[in-house]
Structure 1
């Protein structure tokens, strides 16, 4: 039955939600790195890549209009294609709002959202102006009101779980995780096995999963293409991930024995060596003749 399901790959180099142009290039490179599959079509969402233009705060949100336009195009693609599964190559974390909303509508009541991230992305517009810090909140009906209102199929609190979250480094804008009593498991709890997530799936009778994989859930000691691994960076102002790629692979393989993964969004790929090499080459005259 699974073999007949249609998988769509979305290249969504959205960067305005985190106000960082590096997310766009990271998404494009990620789409090349990911294993190919002859039956899966890849569609790129049009994203404004005028990186020189200053992003304005609109109704409390940086680049609100650009983000809305990109969300509308993403929604249109999904409505036209009607995929059973979606892989999203991004991009900042806000890229997953529309695909996960779509999947929650398709698998109503049976979909769980597993958020692999060092940060909860659950701030409100009172605490932040960057949509990538609010996207999980938007999906739950909180976050930024103008974006939460666009969610047609809000995720129930019981059907969302965080994995790899760094509890000790939760900021004031992250406290809704505890206020809303959302399930979470830290890196230490997942170091040897995936049981906390397996228990959540079973207890809530989840049959399908949409997985948000923010690469910064990984420790820079294991994976270098993430924001806190920037060369010569001495201090990072937020939680730093502690999980490893093998642990993430184990988690995803384990949970797939309990629920079918129908959505996977890979976010915040920052390939520093490629970015810095590209910038350096652009300053050499022969590349500009």
Structure 2
């Protein structure tokens, strides 16, 4: 039964693909030129599908929301303006709740896109554009429960959203703006300046700082390094790893100064760079920290892998 269900629904989608015509293009164009939003409506299972379609449209660059047609008849139609496009879903095209508000929508001059399986239905006759989702049978063995028909609706809704996405030139950074809480949003919206340590949290010293004072600063700030500044710009860095390697040489550490032991080529990144770029730099050079600088090359902050992990960038 499971395989038969999937076969029937797959065939329904193949049929839907083959019957796409100029009406689909007209629907895309109507939404593209609309000054308002896409208002999606549907009852029962079509309503559940409609909510998903509205959410997909909204997250891919087409402002949209769902309005329950039953509530629309009792005041919620006030949410709809003449600048909007209504996408009404009804498999039969005879949903009483939708048909009851069709005259009101026509008086407002709203562009109506009907998604239905019946070209002769009431919804299709009133719609400016008709998207047909005709199927030969439901996957339900009784041919009653909406199964293949709702699959066709949701797939056509996805096709509409993707076509609009492409027509608008919608890209990853646009997607990230509507998904700030997701992994992609964090990667594409989080900047170094949002995560970096600044001010008193930075272990800053000068080239003349004595070795013991440098160790005191490093221990106090707890970042595992000290940054050597000259004219507010990073002149070098001294890390825990540098300390271990220096001890192995047997040098008299107390006689040394920061400028003598620092690495004069610290890894720098702009504070306005993406945090994911900082993560890639650390991975490439096998380091755990980078220094952030402003447009003039002055130290702005510092960032380490712990900061990136807490922000879930890595």
Q: Same fold by TM (over 0.5)?
A: no
TM-score by length of 1: 0.30
Higher relative contact order (CA 8 A, sep 6+): 1
Larger radius of gyration: 2
- Of Structure 1 and Structure 2, the greater helix share is in 2
